Structure 1
Amino acid sequence: MLYFFQQVLNGLHSGALYALLAFGYVLTNGILHRTNLAYGALFAFCGQTMILTAAFGYQALWLT
């Protein structure tokens, strides 16, 4: 049962992060009425950073 709650908390953390990034994207797009290409670069940079840190053995870096 403890494993289930840990997975629920992990999912809530990831979902909150995605919701925050999506909210920023929608807010920027709604105010400027044009697509901001910096968000795509930000998503790519964050993904590359997490892949590299996981490859070097820092699997729990996002928990800190």
Structure 2
Amino acid sequence: MKNLTDLFKKLRRLDLSKQEVQDSLYRISDWLTDEEHSVEDSYIQNQFEFLEKLISSAEKSNIYFFTGVEK
């Protein structure tokens, strides 16, 4: 995952009730609201990589999350 479009396409694979997911999404949001940062920055890419690992794990287990409920 390298950009926000990729993240949004796979967002339903993340458990948004988990603190680690919320923290990561908050960091990305916070950095990108500042005009000095861009999606290409390494620390933002690190957050994308972290979320991608969680998404990959959910994909292997065929897990989807809807409003905090696992389906």
Q: What band does the TM-score fall into relative to the shorter chain?
A: 0.3 to 0.5
**Comparing both structures, which one devotes a greater share of its residues to strand?**
2
TM-score (norm 1): 0.41
> Which has a greater percent of helix?
1
TM-score by length of 2: 0.38
Higher Rg of the two aligned structures: 1
Q: Which has the higher contact order (CA 8 A, sep 6+)?
A: 2
